[in-house]
Structure 1
């Protein structure tokens, strides 16, 4: 049994959630059997029953559904799964309709199915912690709350107020839950929670859920209420603008909310179960759960970290270059308690870099997320300097200077002269091979790549690049540091562009190649968005800058010589820069114009690439090209030894490149497409568009 049943002399039953042999409680088969047995016993002993208290013997209250079980449901298992969900919900419903008060004591996190277990209770008491540990994250994994979460949250809050919690997976702290009416009381410790629970039961001998009370009305109004109806008339369009039809979960969740609000509670639960079942047997949820839950947890557990090295904690680092990237890295470390020496060529530049942290902290203080004293402490950890000797004592130095190998070699030699023998030197380069940069180092075993993404304060990923001579000990230390500052590390081997920059480059290059073929630029951008990429390929090229793309291509040509493979994008870049003088957003305009005070718009001069009489391809053709070119280049990274792990490939693609989450990542995209079908489609694209779509060996091996 995963639920312990104890009745005291006053007739109050304490249900202790305690899954045997597990560190957390989940909604697995053992829980389902236990909840059925508990409901039977409570009903059998109803005569002496005065109340029910639900507690947990784990560090958290309840972790949620068994995602391993959910992602293994076969496509033909819908009916059996639906009946299982309905049966479990029926037993949960039996507990909340006993007519006695039910209280949940939330000692820790209750997310997803965990929050749905808490919603069995009529009264919820939580420990007074500031951490956001309650909510319904299912939609972010391609699912929806299927154990009563949608039906109950809508009835507790009303349709519009429930939107952020369900459709946006917004999590909340105990105090935020109090303000929203989702948490009813706060406690200082577990003893206080239990005392409050007993007091509530004594004061409320009869208790029911709000929606079971006579005269209950939906907060904010039913779907046919004029204000609600007006909101609902635009909600699907607003949702589609975000999902582009690629994510069924928010669409099904919205349908379950609105349909369930128009019927009785039992019917609402059944509607919820049907949509939940549809998502669970679908491929999108399996893709998202596999990467965003399982792969992410494997990375957190150190799956790509070399074994045999003690976990280390860094006290002090140096950052070379106080531009946008260097300033962001300094913020990331200082905000996690690490002392930072931020160096630039002159002190005023370093101070400007520190001001970036001050600006971020001011916003946090304004929003109440930090006190002024806490903000001051973070700023105090950042020491600005223009002097090399100030870097002495740093355990890691990260260079974030301009992408020029001579400059990087110079700062490597200068900085190593003042560092201790064990110090790690890391380059934040996004394209230059680490092994080549390490040639300037006296200690290449301590030289590694740490590729942060911009803006650093928002981007979660750090790509760790192992050079040919990087030691396992250095890799382990780098992995620990990335996790210490709250980022997600992936590990790749050396190569031009590594993994993320290289595959990202294939996306922007394909967009430019399409433009060179005479495809209308608006259609190209629409294809990128329709595929699920966050930004169209031309727009994102403007952000990166066309001049930087040309610089990277020139570096590759110089390094590879006759081995360099020309790309159709090269001619488009040359024309944009040399003929039209369009360098990108920072230089005033590239593929887009940026009028002051107005939205950006495609530059009319792109009409120069139009080809009269050219037949337009189908939109799906463009979508396939943009997705396949990235996925196939990922497969090529496996062939070349840049990648060793599908886990790191998929997580890196989602967090670093913005590859659509519905696919599960670039490697998973090919598998979920169907390997045989993916090979056939790649061969078609290669015949039409060239060798960049040729089938890599890795993909053939998957067959």
Structure 2
């Protein structure tokens, strides 16, 4: 069956129905390219056509490029790939310039290549569905819109207006598209969609693209226009400040847009294809597609979920502790329509926790993302209380109290009796081993770790920690619950710090080690940003608070002492001790840390850090490598030690939980793409210069010797 069904009606209008075989969504795969070639040949042989309509037989209009194909493209395939892209664009351009009206009937979401097909039509009509999304999100996968999206968006909107759609991958709904003039009409039903398309063709028999009309000018002007030239004089610098040189896609998009705006459409399309080829054959796109597409889809499909266990949904959830974490967890549950009991030691504390949700919801209302009625419905799902008996009937209870084993044991035993039979109990601990916490439970098989990240409303990841006795059914239910509230689950085995907290600790400690070695704090923070980390180690240490890090370190030391073990001394501890106990600087919440936090104005590094300044011979590349390698090597140790069971969970967890440089595709993919033999050499050099924490794990040596990537 062809991916494009060709039908000419009694009015000589050709209806092209997109219907990729053996797929739930239409993509620009080999089947589509072959079908488009055949379609153009058939159109060329027609003696009379009055119009062309693109429609879809799928639930959505068109999903975009075939990422399974794209990730395989290597530099040696560049010429063939370029010609394949050009051929596809030439065929779409042939249809666009045939001299008859072309209409897109958008029955659902059209992203990437799907939106590019729509842009190649003269008139766009969409079904009014609030779930429908349009846009060009390629930049989020390290690519650019290579099917004419840059060329046409710039010509329809102008450079400045088009940039957010292109550089940020901004998606938009039907109403926004209508307001922006990117679609022209809407319909309530599929039959009405087709009727309106046919009617428009009859009224506009000689339609063409506005930018193909002689004398058309790009809105706002081309790059030579003074106002545009002034904007373009600073735009690359602003963009570079955001990307820090880690992401080639936004820079290629800006270049293709600006260069393309100075030439005719066909030349602009060729320029776009060249930049697209450059990105598609590059490593960054492969890293990002591998994790942000294939990795996330594997997790969504339940890659780490025990199989053969029925899907489960929580009906009523209890949250113990209404502090920032507990309040955030309650919000994440309530916004998905699930009743939640928010318990604290006093009703005032519980009410304060509920007020946190109210504040977040009011912010959404102010941004026109929520109605007041919906806000009231969500808040009604949260029951604040100081009474444990109100937890009666919960099928899941999550404790989110302070990181203290005795306190967690106490609240577990107080609340667990109210769980429904077969219900599960979860701890939101970030470091304490789950097997130890489960000792307070009456049934350790129903006890699990659910490690949320702060702020819960923004952080997508939840780290699910299996205790020694956690059953597969409990794990499956926890996995289902995390997906039920729209979060990303990764699964890890029990150990101190698990995966994310353990590896996150290496990042902030490395920053403090560098400070103790005399490196200027601004140089440390900038090197982290240039490595691709979203924020520097000193800034993030201020966010989590220095006293919390000290507390976690003390607890780890105590626990290890009971096992007859000890932690080696680190210079980062000297920095913490000095900051907290000599300088009374405990972090952002306390108003002073590595940074100053003026009431008005931006934070800035505290000049008292000059205390640590001394001569050193570290290059910026050494600092960058120390920041990336210390995390990546410890992630690999987690995999080697079976704390992590899959590379997918390692890569996704490192980006969404720790903030590991997204351009790398994750901590283990960073090693794979670097080249494992080169990683081994670099690790040996770093170990010799800076210490045992850079020692190559045995698993790295094994894979470097075999030449096989870690998977």
Aligned to 1:199: 199
Aligned-pair CA distance for 1:132:
5.0
**2:636 match:** 635
Kindly report which structure 2 residues correspond to 1:318-333, keeping only aligned pairs within 5 A, or say none.
Answer: 318-333=318-333
Once the two structures are superposed, residues 115-135 of structure 1 have per-residue CA deviations (whole angstroms, 9 ceiling, x without a partner) of: 111112111111101235110
Say which SS state the counterpart of residue 307 (structure 1) adopts. Answer: coil
Rounded to whole Å, the distance in 1 between the matches of 2:132 and 2:405 is 44
8 Å contact from structure 1 (residues 295, 647) kept in 2? yes
- Distance of 1:518 and 1:242 partners within structure 2: 27
Residue equivalent to 1:93: 93
State yes or no: 1:587 paired with 2:573.
Answer: no
Shift, 1:222, TM fit: 0.7
2:24 corresponds in structure 1 to: 23
Specify the alignment match of 1:530 in structure 2: 530
Q: 1:173 is matched with which residue?
A: 173
Larger mean Cα displacement after TM superposition, 536-545 or 692-701 = 692-701
Residue ranges of structure 2 left out of the alignment (5+ in a row): 705-711
CA distance in 2: counterparts of 1:577 and 1:204, whole angstroms? 74
Q: Do residues 577 (structure 1) and 584 (structure 2) align?
A: no
SS of the equivalent of 1:542 reads helix
Please tell me whether the aligned partners of residues 518 and 616 of structure 2 are also in contact (alpha carbons under 8 angstroms).
no
1:606 to 609, 617, 625: 609
Matched residue of 2:76: which SS? coil
Q: 1 CA distance for matches of 2:7 and 2:671?
A: 52
CA distance in 2, matches of 1:374, 1:519: 51
CA contact 1:132–1:171 (8 Å) conserved in 2: no
* Cα distance, 1:654 vs structure 2: 1.0
> In the TM superposition, what whole-angstrom CA distance separates every residue of 1:305-358 from its partner, at most 9, and x where no partner exists?
110111111111001111111111111111101000000100011111111111
Q: Counterparts in 2 of 1:24-423, with a 5 A limit?
A: 24-45=25-46, 47-423=47-423
User: Secondary structure at the residue paired with 2:401?
Assistant: coil
Q: Matched residue of 1:423: which SS?
A: strand
Q: Is the 8 A contact 1:585 1:594 kept in 2?
A: yes
CA contact (8 A) 2:306 2:472 kept: yes
Query: Paired residue for 1:500?
Result: 500
Contact 2:394–2:418, Cα closer than 8 Å, also in 1: no
Q: CA deviation at 1:179?
A: 0.5
Q: Are 1:16 and 1:55, in contact at CA under 8 Å, matched by a contact in 2?
A: yes
Deviations along 1:209-251, one digit per CA (max 9) or x if unpaired, are 1111121110111111111111111111110111000000000
Aligned residue in 2 for 1:679? 680
Q: Residue by residue, what CA displacement relative to the aligned partner does 1:478-515 show, whole Å, maximum 9, x if unpaired?
A: 11111011111111111111111111110000000011
Q: Distance in 1 between matches of 2:205 and 2:582?
A: 82
User: 1:458-607 maps to which residues of 2 (within 5 A)?
Assistant: 458-561=458-561, 562-607=565-610
Cα drift, residue 369 of structure 1: 2.2
Contact 1:43–1:98 (CA<8 Å) still a contact in 2? no
Q: Per the alignment, in what secondary structure is the counterpart of residue 307 of structure 2?
A: coil
- TM-score, with length taken from structure 1: 0.98
Q: What is the rounded CA distance, in whole Å, between the counterparts of 1:71 and 1:524 in structure 2?
A: 34
Secondary structure class of the residue paired with 1:76: helix
Aligned residues: 700
Report the equivalent of 1:5. Answer: 6
2:179 & 2:605 partners in 1: Cα distance?
A: 45
Q: Is residue 2:694 matched to residue 1:698?
A: no
In structure 1, distance between residues paired with 2:605 and 2:182 = 46
**1:371 CA displacement:** 2.0
CA distance in 2, matches of 1:132, 1:409: 47
Does structure 2 conserve the Cα–Cα contact (< 8 Å) formed by 1:519 and 1:616? no
In structure 2, what is the Cα distance between the partners aligned to 1:323 and 1:65?
Answer: 44
Query: Post-superposition shift, 1:565?
Result: 3.0
Structure 2: distance between partners of 1:677 and 1:334: 48
For residues 591 and 265 of structure 2, the distance between their equivalents in structure 1, rounded to whole angstroms, comes to 57
Residues 595 and 370 from structure 1, CA distance in 2 versus in 1: closer, same or farther, beyond 3 angstroms?
closer
Alignment TM-score, normalising by the size of structure 2: 0.97
| 1:430 partner SS | coil
Deviations 1:523-544 (A, max 9, x none): 1111111111111111111111
The alpha carbon displacement at 1:365 in A equals: 2.4
